[in-house]
Amino acid sequence: MRLHSMTSSLSASSRETAKMADVVNVGVNLDAFSHAISGIQALRSSVSRVFESLKDGMKNRETLEGREKQFIAEFQDNLQAVNRDLNELERLSGLVGRPSESHPLHNSGLLSLDPVQDKTPLYSQLLQAYKWSNKLQYHAGLASSLLNQQSLKRSANQMGASAKRRPKVQPSTLVLPPQYVDDVISRIGRMFPDMTIELFRPNGTSAVLLVTLGKVLKAIVVMRSLFIDRTVVRGFNENVYNEDRKLDIWTKSQYQVFQKVTDHATTALLHYQLPQMPDVVVRSFMTWLRSYIKLFQSSCQRCGRFLQDGLPPTWRDFRTLEAFHDTCRM
């Protein structure tokens, strides 16, 4: 048992020594090192034969004396083989040489000699962290060189040059001339004789439309160039002006039916979106709004009723313009 533990410790030491070969700058005889590893394997084999002979015991012979003599002879041969392999290993270990004291990780390399490496893998973790830090330093250097080539130019010394920067170019669809907007609105008004469109400019270039649809409703459409920002629908007899005689673009209708139509108009603004052709968007929205000319005369296309929960069909399909109750359109 003592021989088995000794060979196990020797093999463990040889494995740990082999692991240090790629870490430590050594003056080691690699040829002798290779022969030493082979010697360890031979020693393990001879020790195994010793224990196998002990396990098998005395083989069957004609007499007891013959069995004892054969067992003792085989056991002595196995022990001599162990002694011979051990002496050879000691000779080779002297030829391997000792590693030099200077290595990249200095004294931390001695952690690799820990016999309980599986329980405390400090050395392998230290090597991994060392490689990771080297990669981090390498990539940081590359990033620094790239940033230096493409400077962001945001230092305090260059703040005075902000006035020399080129002015920000706005999208062409947002800076349409007022004359073009007026022309588009007038053409839409001529398309629908039963719809009256009044155009106001309370804040300069931004337009606000007051749309009167027959004697059914009035809608206030707030525009930014040819983009519709907000729509409020009120009853035909409701006041659309505030105390300053300006269009009231915030107050909701006092009737639930027109509150529903306002919500549906907001949904329509999200549906009709074509930034490249804003005039088409305005015309499509006005066509959809005009479908409320028979708000109180159309029946629901789903249930066929005129009223549901006391309300007429307030929803208009975006493509077919058919009338539906709010719950029947689902």
Contact 282, 184 (CB under 8 A): yes
Residue 284 within any structural domain of the chain: yes
**133 domain residue, yes or no:** no
Residue 14 to residue 255: CA distance in whole angstroms: 93
Query: Do residues 93 and 183 share a domain?
Result: no
Q: Is 17 within a domain?
A: no
Residue 236 inside a domain? The answer is yes
Could you list the pLDDT tens digit for every one of the 330 residues in the chain?
Answer: 444 454 454 454 445 444 444 434 445 577 887 888 888 998 898 889 888 888 777 666 566 677 788 888 888 888 899 899 888 888 888 887 665 544 455 666 666 665 565 566 777 777 788 888 988 998 888 888 877 765 544 444 444 444 455 555 444 445 688 888 899 999 999 999 999 999 998 877 788 999 999 999 999 999 988 889 999 999 999 999 988 888 999 999 999 999 999 999 999 999 998 888 889 999 999 999 999 999 999 999 999 999 999 999 999 999 999 999 989 987
157 within domain boundaries: no
Residue 313 lies in a domain: no
Is 270 part of any domain?
yes
| Closest C-alpha among 151, 38, 23, 49 to residue 93 | 38
Nearest to 207 by CA among 222, 220, 190, 186: 222
Show which of 78, 97, 116 is a domain's final residue: 97
3-state secondary structure of 308: strand
> DSSP 3-state assignment of 202?
strand
Q: Give the pLDDT confidence score for residue 63 in this predicted structure.
A: 65
Alpha-carbon distance values, 115 to 9, 20, 120 (Å): 9, 14, 9
Given a contact cutoff of 8 angstroms between Cβ atoms, the answer to whether 279 and 296 are in contact is no
Residue-level pLDDT at 165: 58
Give me the number of domains the chain comprises.
2
Q: Report d(CA 286, CA 207) in Å as an integer.
A: 15
Is there a domain that residue 88 lies in? yes
Contacts of 213 (CB under 8 A, 6+ apart): 194, 195, 219, 289, 290, 292, 293
- Same domain membership, residue 182 and residue 93: no
Calculate the CA 164 to chain-centre distance: 39
pTM higher than the cut 0.75: no
Among residues 82, 113, 109, the alpha carbon closest in space to that of 1 is found at 82
pLDDT at 20: 44
**Domain residue limits at 258:** 178-293
CA distance 278 to 13: 82
CA distance 199 to 183: 11
Residue written as token pair 């066509």: 287
